[in-house]
Chain A
Amino acid sequence: MKAIIFTSALGILAMISEIIGLKKIILPLLIVGLLLTIGVNIYTEWNYTQVYYGMMLADNYYVAFSTVLLSITVLWLLLSSESYLNEEYNRGDHYALILFSTVGGLLLVSFNNLATLFMGVEILSIPLYILAGSDKNNKYSIEASIKYFLLGSFATGIMLLGIALLYGATGTFDLGLIAQYNAKNMDNTLYYGGTLLLTLSFAFKVSAVPFHFWAPDVYTGAPTFITAFMSAFVKVAAFAGFYHFIQQAYLSIPLPMENTIILLSGATILVGNIAAVYQTDMKRILAFSGIAQAGYLLLLLPIQGELGKSSLLVYLIAYGIANLPAFYVLYKVSRIGGSTNLESFEGLGKKQPILALVLTLSMISLAGLPPAAGFFGKFYLFTLSINNGYLWSVLIAVIGSLISIYYYFKVIIRMYTSTESTTGDSSLSPSLQVYVTLVVLLVSILILGLFPDILVSIGRLL
């Protein structure tokens, strides 16, 4: 609860920063504020489970994932600062909207009532509809915004209908009471209808096939850093929220829901990976890679218990810290090359070895190869799924991973093989704060890849 209040207050501060003359120092203020929020949140809520007003459940799961979400916001603020120094966008309002979106994410990992779930999804999404269209001179940005808004509204409508059906079956919005109902009555059409609709609306939010059509267009059209936020933050928030819902509302996951999720997972892995092979635009490659990653993560959802939670934590953190730097490099390349095509990456290894190294490591992590953090994310996920009997799904996932290595390495090879001899371009160098952030991210990718026990031991306490 404190984290939500603090983040909202910081958002309002960002909003009025230009009026009260804090425009110059708003970024350091927000970062210090968010770091303090993370500290206070861990200090006061860890191992101290509490229910606020029956609407919010603050347990260790909430503390862990709210820390991940707030950290992603801090990293995003640091990495994106360059685009605001160039006065490309109005920073006060942008920061406010990003922080408000963060509040929605925090609600999503802590809801104890379906009304809170709905508010969380809305507060998470509406700022992003606006931000996707924030590049107003670019018609693709406007297209992305409208597409995201319309399809997002449909998904919200489906979610509301699902909540209404669940209410009709159980007579309550409270997750604990729904779980009690679920333990007693196992065959109610209304109940399963509601569950199915909720599952589908979540599948839209995490861009699972066949609800993925918005993702490539929105990712391409939106400004690069907004895409980075969408692909890192929203995916983490949506998956953590979905897992939280299943965990709180069902003592054991109902079979129809399990089958639906496994089916969605297989389709998402195959379609995401195969479609990514044919893309020539880096943004679209990352969009389809995001879809494929959602497919792997879907495999985790039916697996409850501490192993499932710790595996989810490892995978989501590995995904987040690999995705953000990749988008930063993409932004830098598009600033100079003018486009995000694969050709723009040619010779990056000679022009900017640091940026090339960053991109290489994040691609390796996304592909799930050792020594990067992504390897253990996939390793735990596949082991756990096999132990739970999803042998065929894991087989599909492994095939998908093999395909993914092709398109992740296509970028790396482009960067390091170039016929033209170019000298270093100083305008591509990152600023000091970004440089430090990138180093921190790279080191954490390597550390989590070499010592994954750090996260697993935290995950066991959730």
Chain B
Amino acid sequence: MSNILFFFIFFSVQTIGSAVVILFTRNVMYAVTALLSSLLGVAALFVLAGADVLGVIQIIVYIGGVLVLTLFGVMYTYQSPKRYQESIPHKKSVFILIPLLFVLVLLVQALPLLPMIDDPYQHASKVEVTGMLWLTEYLPIFEWIGFLLLVVLIGAGWIGSTLVQEDKSKGEQV
């Protein structure tokens, strides 16, 4: 098993396992934390595939932006934590197993246990190539994405504005 394959399996298990946790947990905080872990796993998979720019964007946009927003949303609407309290079976072993796994990953990297067959870091950074492509061939796509976001904004604004009007008319009736 090459080093790359080992890391691929590790991060795949992390991504899918966390996604399963999101599905089955009843505690919102656990779900958000598991989402964080799942998104980090995806970012790692991007880096393994040589798409370092995409990995960084994944971290900045999803983990830095979307997830922090979600987290604040959850915290503001969070009711008594006891309602969602759930017992984790074999609590101790789970909490020991997860850190152990991370230590294992560090060990694999530190000690030359596995042969490095295809090291992604030997390739040059993709930032320049990606940037060139984005500003030349894929420029229309970005304009259309901008257009799409405009549509979404109008929709959101439109839904909101109608609600305000309804509230006003209700106020007048009272």
Contact = CB atoms under 8 A, between A and B. Distances in A.
Same complex: yes
Interface of A: 8, 12, 15, 52-56, 90, 93, 96-97, 100, 103, 107, 113, 115-116, 119, 122-123, 126-127, 129-130, 133-134, 136
21 contacts: A15-B154, A54-B137, A93-B154, A97-B151, A97-B154, A97-B158, A100-B151, A107-B144, A119-B141, A119-B145, A122-B148, A123-B148, A126-B148, A126-B152, A127-B155, A129-B155, A130-B154, A130-B155, A130-B158, A130-B159, A133-B159
B71 interface: no
Contacts of A130: 154-155, 158-159
B84 interface: no
B46 to A, nearest CB: 13
B147 A8 contact: yes
A331 B162 CA distance: 23
Contacts of B137: 53-55
User: Chain B contact residues: over half helix, strand or loop, or mixed?
Assistant: helix
Q: Which 3 A-B pairs have the closest CB atoms?
A: A130-B155, A119-B144, A93-B158
Interface in B42-101: none
Nearest to B163: A136
B149 to A, nearest CB: 10
A115 B141 contact: yes
Contact of A97 (B140, B144, B148, B155): B155
A39 B4 CA distance: 58
Nearest to A130: B155
Contacts of B159: 130, 133, 136
Contacts of B138: 55, 115
Nearest to A8: B147
A69 to B, nearest CB: 17
A187 B94 CA distance: 46
A30 B151 CA distance: 18
A126 B155 contact: yes
Contacts, number: 61
A123 B155 contact: no
Nearest to A100: B151
B143 to A, nearest CB: 9
B140 A100 contact: no
Interface residues of B, number: 20
B19 to A, nearest CB: 15
A90 B148 contact: no
A127 B154 CA distance: 9
A84 B33 CA distance: 48
Interface string B130-172: 0000000111110011011011101100110111001000000
Contacts of B147: 8, 100, 103, 123
A90 B163 CA distance: 13
Contacts of A93: 154, 158
Given A126-B152, A136-B159, 18 more contacts: A8-B147, A12-B150, A55-B138, A55-B140, A90-B162, A93-B154, A93-B158, A107-B144, A113-B141, A119-B141, A119-B144, A122-B148, A123-B147, A123-B148, A126-B155, A129-B155, A130-B155, A136-B162
Contacts of A100: 147, 150-151, 154
Contacts of B162: 90, 136
A136 B145 CA distance: 28
A90 B158 contact: yes
A123 B144 contact: yes
Nearest to B165: A90
B140 A56 contact: yes
A52 B140 contact: yes
A20 B132 CA distance: 39
Contacts of B158: 90, 93, 97, 130, 134
A97 B138 CA distance: 25
A96 B140 contact: no
Nearest to B138: A115
B121 to A, nearest CB: 23
B154 A116 contact: no
B26 to A, nearest CB: 22
B140 A126 contact: no
Contacts of A119: 141, 144-145, 148
